[in-house]
Amino acid sequence: MKKFLMLTAFISVIASPSLGSEVYIDQAGNSTNVNVLQQNGNNRINTDAAPMIVNGDDINVELVQDGDGNVAEIYIQVSANDTNYEYRVEGDLNEILSNINGGVDNNFVAAVIGNDNTITLCKDYINSTCNGIQVNLTDTTLNLTGNNNEINFALDGADATNIFNVGQTTPSDFNVINLTQTTSVGHIVHVDIDGDTNTVDIVQH
């Protein structure tokens, strides 16, 4: 009989505005729920040297950061299938770097409210270059409200849908969205923008 590791984790951190908090997650196993809530800004989820690792199937990851100057670094391993990953942030000068390396039927949703935030989703990010996800059927959705934000997505998988909604509730200006798709089949992109002086760069190979 096949056995699965089942784990449900909820982490809630309320930090002082000056100190912030740090959470480090290294998870392996199937049918897992990971929920992280960080408030008051200057928080961190993992680091460049030790990114958050999620390895397994049928995983739900929900990360919520509130305030300014937060950082989240997530690495989804090659065997992560059927993973739902949601990141929400409200504030300014936040940074999220997410790497998905392999797997199928994954779903990434980011909701950003604020200014001067950077969201990067790719297989690896080296020397400011975002290289694509080597995975099929990974759908991405970005809901963005705010100004002067930068979004970098590089996707190599086939049969994926990428949705960008900018200025859903309030017109949003001076945002930059870069999307690169390199697989020859199944590219679907929906872009809905309300605001001025936004830049959208879509490259499909």
pLDDT at 205: 76
Q: Give the CA-trace dihedral at 145, 146, 148, 152, to 10 degrees.
A: -20
Q: How confident is the model at residue 4 (pLDDT cuts 50, 70, 90)?
A: very low
User: Does 93 map to a domain?
Assistant: yes
pLDDT at 61: 86
User: Does 63 map to a domain?
Assistant: yes
User: Does 1 map to a domain?
Assistant: no
Of 14-18, 170-174, 199-203, the least confident: 14-18
Range of the domain at 165: 7-204
Question: What is the distance between the alpha carbons of residues 76 and 103, in angstroms, rounded to a whole number?
Answer: 9
**pLDDT at residue 9 greater than cutoff 50:** no
CA 102, chain centre distance (Å): 15
User: Does 2 map to a domain?
Assistant: no
pTM as predicted: 0.81
Q: What is the mean pLDDT of residues 43-50?
A: 78
pLDDT greater at residue 9 or residue 33: 33
